[in-house]
Structure 1
Amino acid sequence: MSGVSTSATARFGYVAGLDGLRLLAVAIVIVAHYRLLPNVPGGFGVSIFFFISGFLISRLLLAEEKTHGRIALGRFYIRRLIRLLPPLLLMGVVAVPLLVWIDPAGFSWSQLLLSFAYLGNVQKIGARLLGWDAGYDALEPLWSLAVEEHFYLLLPPVLLFVRRGTSRIILLAAILSGALALRMAVSWMAPQQADNINYNFTLTRIDAIGWGVFLTLLLDAGVLRVSCFERRAYWLLWGGSAAMIASLVHWADWYEVAFKYTPQSIAIGVAFCGLIFPERTLWARRIAEWPTVRYLGRISYELYLWHFPIYFVVGHFLPAPFPRALLSLVLTAAVSTLAYSVTTQRLGPLRKRYGSHPV
């Protein structure tokens, strides 16, 4: 791996260390869902995913704008569709019939239709507030795909119509402040349902993605400089990591329901800057670039899709907690590898025809 630090300005090209962060994020989710360790919040892993998505997608869009003079909305949406939808549909075609076979009473048409239409977060809110059938826990993680997909729909038009860097930074700052204000308002107006709404609703969770976009904009505008990160590399990496752990502490009910996602996202961003950019932390990026770590991070989307359905099916035949978790991990890795090869890898050339670049 090259020792050259990742460019602060937006450009195409692989960003060393991000596959390792993807693996960390999905590992946190799996550990939480498989109950391998007590008190591990899966939502924290989702927040890391969100931040990475915001950083990468905005970086690619700005690079496209610089290279071609504009952002091609149609080509962007086609690339996202090719990358995200085939693995999701493959999981659904295989997993849903197995779930129905094992637990026919748990089937929910609303969950099936909404979750695979990238409205899984709406399904979760509707199940709690309106009494819709909750459906299978195994499909519950699809709510976060909905939030990401809504972000993919919203961000490119914003960048297309707001062209000045300063205006974009101001707008993102307003969005980040607005999401926090909205969570506080929901907590005040509907305290009994606030946790469910704030955790799942797109506009209350989008700031986790927005902080990643904000970092890209600040770096590209020169407001933040890699030279500053270099001098403070270890403070950023270890201080940000400590702040992430502190953000998981249940300080108070109002903090947990309304405020937590803001300091948590900022802490992720601080640690991110300490890991990805400075030369001093090249050793950490080298760990994140170990071949096995890098590959598992590359198939993290498939791991996320398959881990819970597999855990559910395995539990039907092997209910003992530890053997169930161990077998589920092995099967998840194997099935995700196969799914990645028959969808993402096979469709890679098609994505490149529509302007896909490695990140």
Structure 2
Amino acid sequence: MGWIRTDILRPPQARGGHVQALDGLRGLAVLIVIASHLSNAGWLPQPGLVGIGKSGVYLFFVLSAYLLSHAILARSPLDLRRAGYWMNYALRRVLRIWPLYLLVLLVSWVLTRLGVTAWHYQLDTAALWRHLALREGQSVLWSIPVEFTFYLWLPGICLALAWLRGRPGGRWWGLGLLLALGFWASWRWPASAAPTNSIQLGYYLVVFLSGVGAAWLAQQWPGLRRHARAWRVLGWALLVALALATPGLWVALGAKFNPEMNHRWFAAFGAGWALLLLSVLWGGGLVSRLFSSTPLRLMGMVSFSAYLWHMPVLQGLDALGIRDWGAWCLPLLLGAMLTAAVVSFLLFERPWRDVRIWQG
């Protein structure tokens, strides 16, 4: 446990004001995704968690938008005019995604060419190039083009907000801008028309804007944090609401509930996760302690690796007949997923975390 705390849970040096509870929220996000996929594959028939996986990805989007926009908006106007700052932003975003993503793509391409059909990602040469060009996203890889495209949008949004906050009534103008962008995105890319696992940012833009909105509220209305008890109550209410959004629960109660609805509740999940994030930051109490716990923080720190590798591990062990190994098969599967995630994090994520070209 001491090794985990000092090695894996050590926050990146490049990130000031690290909040441990947000690591735990990221851990919740990846656990939701994994639990849904385990249910899809028949590993968790009870409770039925089919259909909840997308909500975990939306939490990833909200967290990413919050952390990045909060960091940008905390910079001085002078910093935001420096080319070095934006060069560093671009480098950090590339290093966050591409080393591990590229490894997964190349391993998948090699195994596909070798005829290993048990490997989850089947990529021929044409599919490899489409994934490299962010024009395709097989299985969970759909979220990579979405996230990376948002990295290109975010500087413009934050620069507009930074300019507005210097104007009279700027915080309200900034909030109005985010709301206007959200309504425009919902009109331009209606949720009802969203393809499953679309790689277009537009359908999910309202989710990312919710994270930016949480950062804007945190910086422009700091007095809201004084109402800790209200935030604690809201935090628990939002966690209950998440449970109530589980299709299997409604089916157990004899009600009809289409699992596809969770795949298109972009605005609802964006707003809900953003408010939960603020509740964890400002509420204190058991909710904050829960997300600051070592198990959830560990899952959060290795969440990207866990997200990319859990399906190959699941499908590979299934092909080896792990379901016939008795009562220990599920713990062994979960242990293999965690081991793959930790090893991947240590080898292909952590070495890049503190790399930057601008020291400001």
TM-score of the aligned structures, taking structure 1 as reference length:
0.77
Task: Identify the residue that residue 319 of structure 2 maps to in structure 1.
Answer: 316
Shift of 1:161: 4.6
Contact 2:305 2:341 in 1 (8 A): yes
Amino acid at match of 2:323: A
Shift of 1:46: 0.5
2:194 matches 1:178: no
2:343 matches 1:338: yes
Task: Identify the residue that residue 164 of structure 1 maps to in structure 2.
Answer: 164
Amino acid at match of 1:237: G
Distance 1:204 1:178 in 2: 11
Q: 1:252 to 1:347 in 2, by over 3 A?
A: closer
Distance 2:235 2:123 in 1: 44
- Aligned 1:268-347 pairs, distance under 5 A: 268-279=273-284, 281=285, 283-318=286-321, 320=323, 326-347=331-352
Task: Identify the residue that residue 54 of structure 2 maps to in structure 1.
Answer: 43
Shift of 1:222: 1.7
Shift of 1:262: 1.2
Q: 1:46 to 1:18 in 2, by over 3 A?
A: same
Contact 1:102 1:313 in 2 (8 A): no
Contact 1:70 1:160 in 2 (8 A): no
Amino acid at match of 1:92: L
Distance 2:223 2:126 in 1: 45
Q: 1:141 to 1:30 in 2, by over 3 A?
A: same
More relative contact order in 1 or in 2 (CA 8 Å, sep 6+)? Answer: 2
CA offsets, 1:188-233, max 9 Å, x none?
xxxxxx34168553101121111010111122112762113x1403
CA offsets, 1:213-269, max 9 Å, x none?
0111122112762113x1403321122223333445588779928962212222222
Please, which moves more after superposition, 320-329 or 40-49? 320-329
Distance 2:332 2:30 in 1: 17
Distance 1:239 1:75 in 2: 39
Contact 1:306 1:335 in 2 (8 A): yes
CA offsets, 1:146-197, max 9 Å, x none?
111111111113323551133432221112112222344x74xxxxxx3416
What is the aligned residue count? 319
Shift of 1:58: 0.5
Distance 2:259 2:34 in 1: 27
Task: Identify the residue that residue 213 of structure 1 maps to in structure 2.
Answer: 212
Please, which moves more after superposition, 194-203 or 253-262? 253-262
* 3-state DSSP of counterpart to 1:17: helix
Contact 2:210 2:274 in 1 (8 A): yes
Distance 1:292 1:337 in 2: 13
Distance 1:253 1:291 in 2: 35
Q: 1:161 to 1:44 in 2, by over 3 A?
A: closer
What percentage of aligned pairs have identical amino acids?
24
* 3-state DSSP of counterpart to 1:225: helix
Shift of 1:306: 0.9
Structure 2 gaps of 5+ residues are 6-14, 251-255
2:135 matches 1:119: yes
Distance 2:264 2:104 in 1: 34
Structure 1 gaps of 5+ residues are 2-10, 122-138, 188-193
Shift of 1:53: 0.8
Task: Identify the residue that residue 232 of structure 2 maps to in structure 1.
Answer: 234
CA RMSD of aligned residues (A): 3.2
Task: Identify the residue that residue 76 of structure 1 maps to in structure 2.
Answer: 89
Q: 1:114 to 1:91 in 2, by over 3 A?
A: same
Q: 1:333 to 1:255 in 2, by over 3 A?
A: closer
